[in-house]
Structure 1
Amino acid sequence: MSPVRVAVVAASPQARTSLQALVDAAPGLDFAGSAADAAVIADRFASELPDVLLVELEPLAGDLPAPEAGRDPATPALVLLTDEADSVWIHEALTASAMALLPRSATPGEIIAAIDAVAEGLCVLSPEIVARLLAERKAPRQMASAALIELLTPREIEVLTMLAEGLGNKEIARQLNISDNTVKFHLSAIFGKLGASSRTEAVMQGMRHGLIMV
């Protein structure tokens, strides 16, 4: 197999030297050159682009570059080393040209593994970035659960809890000292707020959102 040609982009000469040494020492990788910015690399390799572009983004160097929409398969796969990407930028990068996102503190082994992976068309994310993205997805669910708790009145939560215990309308009415019609009224409100069409579905929704424990 032909070696993977890797070009390095970093503002700091020391960073470029360090990353070049890393690429040079790795079997199966061929150092293709380095520059302070990607535009220089593009001009230098206009006729034969490298397979992978390894880019270090320094902190406090201004805004992160806006990823270009839609990656051309002929362009190099991008491995980004950055510490300041927020969730919005990460999403934009992943839907554009970036194939790997790692912190600048990534070990040589992690960087080489990322280069090998993106050269094969895979995507690589550090555990920190994965955790950040998962937390972002979890937050709306937590907010939705909080909204449901606010929507259901304490009495409705009581009724929902009794539903989960398998009690029928008459037993719920007896325990809460209310009429059967009032129980039906509460059930109708619970079904509407939880988007449920049956007692079982209402209980499942209540468990899913942490409103009741069984």
Structure 2
Amino acid sequence: MTIRVLVADDQDLVRTGLAMILDAQPDIDVVGQAADGREAVAMARQLQPDVCLFDIRMPHLDGIEATRQLAGPDVADPVAVVVITTFDLDEYVHGALKAGARGFLLKDAGPPLLVQAIEAAAAGDALIAPSVTVRLLAAFADARTSRPAQPIEPLTDREEEVLVTVARGRTNGEIAEQLHISLSTVKTHLAALMRKLGVRNRVELAMWAHETGRLER
């Protein structure tokens, strides 16, 4: 199955480079390129790509607001968005993830991680650059102003284990290997966690884990 991708970045050279890297992959097809956030939202609604790759700092509409309009909590049929930026700033990551992004990368991450993030987003998964995952999510927990929502049902011991591995940025395959369970079992636990916690993706799972101090136990 080919993953249809829309790339948005206000720098021509960067946008073209990202598109070339992705188009070189046999399972990825770049269906559109946008130079600003407003154009990116319009193109996404018209082209309906599987994944949008957005820079954060763009004219007219920044990547965070563009993400919110396409993937925010109030969007009935959210688009998978991966945010990429040069700036390793906590507020950017927090804003992007709260807006509904399924991934966050720095532009120095390299082609393999970029491709992994796109493939993960297309599969309903999420990937955050390993260099920022734990530090930033922990910072979000420290900055919280309200008590995290409680699960509608108690989490099982195994679900707690899966939750912690997700918060540490592990992929489904890595979780399966670490906990000695199958991939299908990992997906079953993730679905149960999302239902119990009322979240939509593993990024929100990771944020909840940090907000409730799961990694400190």
Work out whether 1:132 is the aligned partner of 2:131: no
Q: CA deviation at 1:111?
A: 0.3
Name 2:75's counterpart in structure 1.
72
Secondary structure of 2:82's aligned partner: strand
Name 1:109's counterpart in structure 2.
112
In the TM superposition, structure 1's runs of 4+ consecutive aligned residues that sit over 4 Å from their partners are 137-140
Secondary structure of 1:127's aligned partner: coil
Secondary structure of 1:74's aligned partner: coil
Closer/same/farther in 2, CA of residues 22 and 136 from structure 1, 3 Å limit: same
Asked whether the equivalents of residues 3 and 50 of structure 2 are also in contact (C-alpha less than 8 Å), the reply is yes
Instruction: Out of 93-102 and 77-86, give the one that drifted further.
Output: 77-86
Asked whether the equivalents of residues 54 and 63 of structure 2 are also in contact (C-alpha less than 8 Å), the reply is no
Work out whether 1:8 is the aligned partner of 2:11: no
Secondary structure of 1:55's aligned partner: strand
- CA RMSD of the aligned region, Å? 3.0
Tell me the amino acid that sits aligned with residue 28 of structure 2: L
Q: Percent identity, aligned pairs only?
A: 30
Tell me the amino acid that sits aligned with residue 34 of structure 2: A
Structure with bigger gyration radius: 1
Closer/same/farther in 2, CA of residues 71 and 139 from structure 1, 3 Å limit: closer
Stretches of structure 2 lacking an aligned partner (at least 5 in a row): 144-217
Asked whether the equivalents of residues 54 and 81 of structure 2 are also in contact (C-alpha less than 8 Å), the reply is yes
TM value normalised by structure 1 = 0.55
Name 1:90's counterpart in structure 2.
93
Can you list the C-alpha shifts for 1:15-36, whole angstroms capped at 9, x where unaligned?
A: 1111111111011111111010
**Number of positions where the alignment pairs a residue of Structure 1 with one of Structure 2:** 138
Name 1:48's counterpart in structure 2.
47
Tell me the amino acid that sits aligned with residue 35 of structure 1: A
Closer/same/farther in 2, CA of residues 4 and 37 from structure 1, 3 Å limit: same
Q: Distance in 2 between matches of 1:138 and 1:40?
A: 34
Q: Distance in 1 between matches of 2:74 and 2:120?
A: 17
Stretches of structure 1 lacking an aligned partner (at least 5 in a row): 141-214
Asked whether the equivalents of residues 56 and 104 of structure 1 are also in contact (C-alpha less than 8 Å), the reply is no
Asked whether the equivalents of residues 9 and 35 of structure 1 are also in contact (C-alpha less than 8 Å), the reply is yes
Asked whether the equivalents of residues 6 and 52 of structure 1 are also in contact (C-alpha less than 8 Å), the reply is yes
Asked whether the equivalents of residues 64 and 99 of structure 2 are also in contact (C-alpha less than 8 Å), the reply is no
Closer/same/farther in 2, CA of residues 64 and 118 from structure 1, 3 Å limit: closer
Asked whether the equivalents of residues 44 and 52 of structure 2 are also in contact (C-alpha less than 8 Å), the reply is no
Tell me the amino acid that sits aligned with residue 23 of structure 1: L
